[in-house]
Chains A and B, each alone.
Chain A
Amino acid sequence: MKTIKIDIQQYFIIIVLFELGSAILVGLGMDAGRDAWIAILLGMTSGMFLFVGYYYLYKQFPEQSLTQYLQILFGKYIGKLFGFLYLMYFMYLAARVLRDFGSLLLSAVFVQTPIIVVNALMIATIVYVLKLGFEVLVRTGEIIFFLVVLLGIILAVLVLSADLMKYNYLLPVLGKGFLPVLKAAFPVTPTFPFGEMVVFTMLLPYLKTTKKSKALTVGLFAIMVSGIILSVTVAMDIAILGGHVATHVYFPLLAAVAKINLGEFIQRLDALVVFTLIIGGFFKISVLFYVAVKATQDIFGVKEEKKLIGPIGIVLILSSIVIAANYVEHITEGLNIVPHFIHLPFQVVLPSLFIIVFLIRRKKLKPFASSPSTSTE
């Protein structure tokens, strides 16, 4: 099933949409107060380093996805164990993002609707799209990207013309010193969303063969673009809402856009933003979902990936509800527990371990790593 081929601009679009997906929704790095935007840029930089690591691994095994080369790296059983852990991780991420969006909708629009219905509807959509194939998802992503860019420009114009931003709210830069910014930036911001690029260890092999050389530069560029967008968005949130409000609402972007009021006609655009965000969320969950499907396929040796989509979808719906009792718990977990105990190991520790193991076992592994670059050596 190596027929799926992703073009380089598609790859760029997937990364950007994936990174922005849910990160643009929740206030990122808000612990840093009005310097949140700096924290994001810091996070972005370190996220880029992480990506270089993932790329290194990919380069050694250009034809295999993470769950496949783990089995080469560690042998069948340990490799599968690690793969399974990653599978769990991907599923957990998907469930988390799903929960994020369910909560957003519930608190913003559907106050009385049960979250399971909202989540199930989202998953149903994703299941439909994934059944059409990953390529369809990617192409849908391209269209979505156009839409999101268009809406982004419109919103930016509206915000600017409504003259809502008070740049004073952003001052003083680094008012509380560099430390709180660093604290806010590490380890949360590099791991979310930039460290989640670990997902792409599963997707990089699908890149068109002719475009493989560009994977690193385009990847880094995409991370940079999304980082800058996030940073600007957060800065805008703060400039509109003020440092306090921006850090104390769950969805700052929403609150910021809600303030737009042009001539009593264009107003209450937050509902519109919710739906732009849903599109981003849809895409992020879909990518995570697909990666989970791929991982399951590799680990359990299932031939037809389409058969896995339905069951995994159901698991996701249920787990998105079970993972936290309420939104506060969900967010606290997300900010305090997940980055340290889940993101860090899966995004930093384990990949570094893999690189080290690879370096040690390099010679033995050579025949397996069937890349054109290694074969010419």
Chain B
Amino acid sequence: MRNRRKRPIIRTHKKLTDMLADKKHDDHSSLQSNTISMDTSIQQKKETEKRVGELSPVLHVVVDRVKTLLGNPMDLIVREFEFELEHKVTATLLFLEEMNDSQVLNEFILSPLMSLSSDKQSSPVPVDHALHYIKQNALALGRVLDVETEDELVEALLAGLSVLLVEGNTKGLKLGTNGGKVRGIEEPTSEVVIRGPKDSFTESIKTNISLIRRRVRSKDIRIEKFKIGEVTHTDVAVVYLENIADPLLIQEIKERIEEVKTDGLLESGQLEEFIQDETVTVFPQFLNTERPDVVIGNLLEGRVGIIINGTPFVLIAPAQFIQFFQSSEDYYMRYDISTFLRLLRFSVFIISLIAPSIYIALTTFHQAMIPTTLLFGIAAQREGVPFPAIAEALVMEITFEILREAGIRMPRAVGVAVSIVGALVLGQAAVQAGLVSPAMVIVVGITAVASFAIPSFAVATSARLLRFPLMLISSVFGFYGLTLALIVIIAHLSSLRSFGYPYLSPFAPLQTQDLKDSLFRFPITKLFKRPEKLSKKNQTRTKPYSVKKKREEETTR
């Protein structure tokens, strides 16, 4: 299975590297070795590429070129100024407004440069060395790099850097002055916990990386950058711990990311679809989270995080099915309640998956299994309902889905109204009008509430989708159909792999050690090992430690 999957990827990967090699001839150099070189989708740019790559020493020529390349945008600021070295030197600072921190520009670039004067120099600086000189002496800024081509220059501008050009130099400097307004770190909205860190990722990849860095002070943490999107040039970072993660896994992830060729990448969900193993499935093959602690917990287990600029949702791969029922809080609370909650969440998943099907199967095929008194109740309710149970169930479920979708899309104030109309008016009225039986409403209600109790939205969606085929089959074959359909689902799940790692592990294939942290969570002092398959190199996680034993030893001494 795995081999079959991998082969085409490698093949295309080769093509890709060839392509890259070709490109490099044109580009002369690239800023970062592991960056996919930028594809130029703008036609003008291609033309210029053919004619000139290097920067002209004449300032206004370059500025004009940049202006034409970018289409003379309103937010491009061209700040010309002069400073003194041996004699007056003209320089230009180019940047896109609002993508740069103007305070930094003013304080650390313009003001030191403009206050340069020739008398400070110990020896005269020739014009063509001016750039080098100011880089060394005048710019009080951390990130200053050379720019040698027009492409690079434009790219730097678009990335939110500012570019300093000096008359008579064939190079420029790009300055890390990017800033501007981004959303601050807030509490997570989709994964709320009671106990645990309250910060969450933001749209800015830098902030996100810093959130991770701050928590893991290990020299082994690796953050590798990619750019995806021929138009958007979205930054994508792969984060892992080198001493733990499996190098093969990292290689595979990198290869797949490098292969993504698309115009734009706006959210991690898109990348997920590009690089997942199996397309024909309703189950998520990546974990996504907006909580830094979740990412780090997974890094420690040998998984890899993929951060995408522009979205607070970080992908984690490979994902196992069982992870979708775990919450970071499980590790912060006591193990007994965590185990209970995990079991509860899993049962909730099962309920939301099959509750309507069971109702249908019971009432249309296996009436014998319903306790007699309950049967009277259900039969009495069904009396006078004009539809067969399956139609009733489908109508109710679809109504519920409509309500839910409406509730999400509506502005918050209207949303409340929608749910009132839905719950009270529709539910109550439908029962009173004799269109549906109250038991059915209860079943749909349970299903709905259950699907909200699943911590992962992604996996709740799969239950939502699968519910309908299951309802259909159990209306035709009762529990027999349902059983077989569930077997098919289990088989499908066990055929899935996330980056080659079995989706259903540690259950199938069975990994006894890993069972300790699956549906159950053993006391943390018992979780010695990282997942077996994920971290082949460095398995030990915790040293066996027991306060009790220690105390006993002390007393015996």
Chain A–chain B contact at Cβ < 8 A: yes
Instruction: List residues of A whose CB falls within 8 A of some B CB.
Output: 3, 7, 9-10, 105, 109-110, 118, 121-122, 125, 128-129, 132-133, 135-144, 146, 264-265, 267-269, 271-272, 274-275, 278-279, 282
Closest to A13 in B: B510
In the complex, chain B residues whose CB is within 8 Å of the CB of A105:
480
Q: A121-B480, A275-B480 are in contact. Are A140 and B487 (CB under 8 A)?
A: yes
A110–B3 touching, CB < 8 Å: no
A140–B490 touching, CB < 8 Å: yes
Q: Can you give 17 A-B contacts (C-beta < 8 A)? A: A109-B479, A121-B477, A121-B481, A128-B488, A129-B487, A139-B509, A143-B490, A143-B494, A144-B490, A264-B372, A268-B368, A271-B366, A271-B368, A275-B480, A275-B482, A275-B483, A278-B483
In the complex, chain A residues whose CB is within 8 Å of the CB of B478:
109-110
B490–A118 touching, CB < 8 Å: no
A278–B484 touching, CB < 8 Å: yes
Q: Which of B68-76, B80-88, B328-336, B500-508 contacts A (4 or more CB under 8 A)?
A: B500-508
Closest to A4 in B: B1
Complex: A151 Cα to B1 Cα, angstroms: 32
Complex: A288 Cα to B478 Cα, angstroms: 26
Complex: A3 Cα to B372 Cα, angstroms: 54
Instruction: List residues of B whose CB falls within 8 A of some A CB.
Output: 1, 3, 365-366, 368-369, 371-373, 477-484, 487-488, 490-492, 494-495, 502, 504, 507-510
> Within the complex, what minimum Cβ distance (angstroms) separates A356 from chain B?
38
A279–B480 touching, CB < 8 Å: no
Complex: A118 Cα to B476 Cα, angstroms: 11
Q: Say whether chain B's binding surface is mostly helix, strand, loop, or mixed.
A: helix
B1–A133 touching, CB < 8 Å: yes
Q: A132-B495, A140-B490, A143-B490 are in contact. Are A109 and B365 (CB under 8 A)?
A: yes
B373–A142 touching, CB < 8 Å: no
Complex: A10 Cα to B494 Cα, angstroms: 14
Listed residue (B365, B371, B478, B484) with the most chain A CB atoms within 10 angstroms of its CB: B484
Partner of A121, one of B368, B484, B491, B510: B484
Partner of B509, one of A10, A129, A264, A279: A10
In the complex, chain A residues whose CB is within 8 Å of the CB of B1:
133, 135
Closest to A141 in B: B508
In the complex, chain B residues whose CB is within 8 Å of the CB of A137:
491
In the complex, chain B residues whose CB is within 8 Å of the CB of A144:
487, 490
Complex: A146 Cα to B508 Cα, angstroms: 10
Complex: A110 Cα to B478 Cα, angstroms: 9
Complex: A136 Cα to B479 Cα, angstroms: 23
Complex: A145 Cα to B155 Cα, angstroms: 58
B365–A9 touching, CB < 8 Å: no
B477–A139 touching, CB < 8 Å: no
Closest to B370 in A: A268
Complex: A275 Cα to B483 Cα, angstroms: 7
Complex: A125 Cα to B479 Cα, angstroms: 14
Complex: A144 Cα to B486 Cα, angstroms: 10
Listed residue (A110, A118, A128, A143) with the most chain B CB atoms within 10 angstroms of its CB: A143
> Within the complex, what minimum Cβ distance (angstroms) separates B495 from chain A?
4
Complex: A182 Cα to B369 Cα, angstroms: 39
Q: A121-B481, A125-B487 are in contact. Are A139 and B504 (CB under 8 A)?
A: yes
In the complex, chain A residues whose CB is within 8 Å of the CB of B481:
121
In the complex, chain B residues whose CB is within 8 Å of the CB of A3:
3
Q: Say whether chain A's binding surface is mostly helix, strand, loop, or mixed.
A: helix
In the complex, chain B residues whose CB is within 8 Å of the CB of A275:
479-480, 482-483
Q: A3-B3, A140-B490 are in contact. Are A122 and B366 (CB under 8 A)?
A: no
B366–A109 touching, CB < 8 Å: yes
Complex: A100 Cα to B510 Cα, angstroms: 31
Complex: A275 Cα to B491 Cα, angstroms: 17
Partner of A264, one of B368, B373, B491, B507: B373
In the complex, chain A residues whose CB is within 8 Å of the CB of B479:
109, 271-272, 274-275
Closest to B371 in A: A265
Complex: A268 Cα to B495 Cα, angstroms: 35
Closest to B368 in A: A268
Partner of B494, one of A136, A267, A271, A274: A136
B507–A129 touching, CB < 8 Å: no
> Within the complex, what minimum Cβ distance (angstroms) separates B354 from chain A?
12
Closest to B3 in A: A3
B504–A278 touching, CB < 8 Å: no
Q: 19 other contacts beyond A121-B477, A139-B495, with CB at 8 A cut-off?
A: A10-B510, A105-B480, A109-B366, A118-B477, A118-B480, A128-B488, A132-B495, A136-B495, A140-B487, A142-B507, A264-B371, A264-B372, A268-B368, A269-B369, A271-B368, A271-B479, A274-B479, A275-B480, A275-B483
Closest to A278 in B: B483
B369–A9 touching, CB < 8 Å: no
B510–A109 touching, CB < 8 Å: no
> Within the complex, what minimum Cβ distance (angstroms) separates B518 from chain A?
11
In the complex, chain A residues whose CB is within 8 Å of the CB of B371:
264-265, 267
B502–A125 touching, CB < 8 Å: no
In the complex, chain B residues whose CB is within 8 Å of the CB of A7:
509-510
In the complex, chain A residues whose CB is within 8 Å of the CB of B510:
7, 9-10, 142
In the complex, chain A residues whose CB is within 8 Å of the CB of B482:
275
A136–B491 touching, CB < 8 Å: yes
Complex: A135 Cα to B507 Cα, angstroms: 14
Q: A109-B478, A121-B477, A275-B479 are in contact. Are A142 and B487 (CB under 8 A)?
A: no
B502–A139 touching, CB < 8 Å: yes
Closest to B481 in A: A121
Partner of A133, one of B368, B495, B507, B508: B495
A110–B480 touching, CB < 8 Å: yes
In the complex, chain B residues whose CB is within 8 Å of the CB of A136:
491, 494-495
In the complex, chain A residues whose CB is within 8 Å of the CB of B487:
125, 129, 140, 144, 279, 282
B491–A128 touching, CB < 8 Å: yes
In the complex, chain B residues whose CB is within 8 Å of the CB of A138:
508
In the complex, chain B residues whose CB is within 8 Å of the CB of A109:
365-366, 478-480
A139–B366 touching, CB < 8 Å: no
Q: A264-B371, A264-B372, A272-B369 are in contact. Are A129 and B480 (CB under 8 A)?
A: no
A282–B509 touching, CB < 8 Å: no
Closest to A263 in B: B371
In the complex, chain B residues whose CB is within 8 Å of the CB of A110:
477-478, 480
Listed residue (B365, B368, B477, B508) with the most chain A CB atoms within 10 angstroms of its CB: B508
A271–B369 touching, CB < 8 Å: yes
> Within the complex, what minimum Cβ distance (angstroms) separates A232 from chain B?
24
Complex: A136 Cα to B488 Cα, angstroms: 11
A132–B483 touching, CB < 8 Å: no
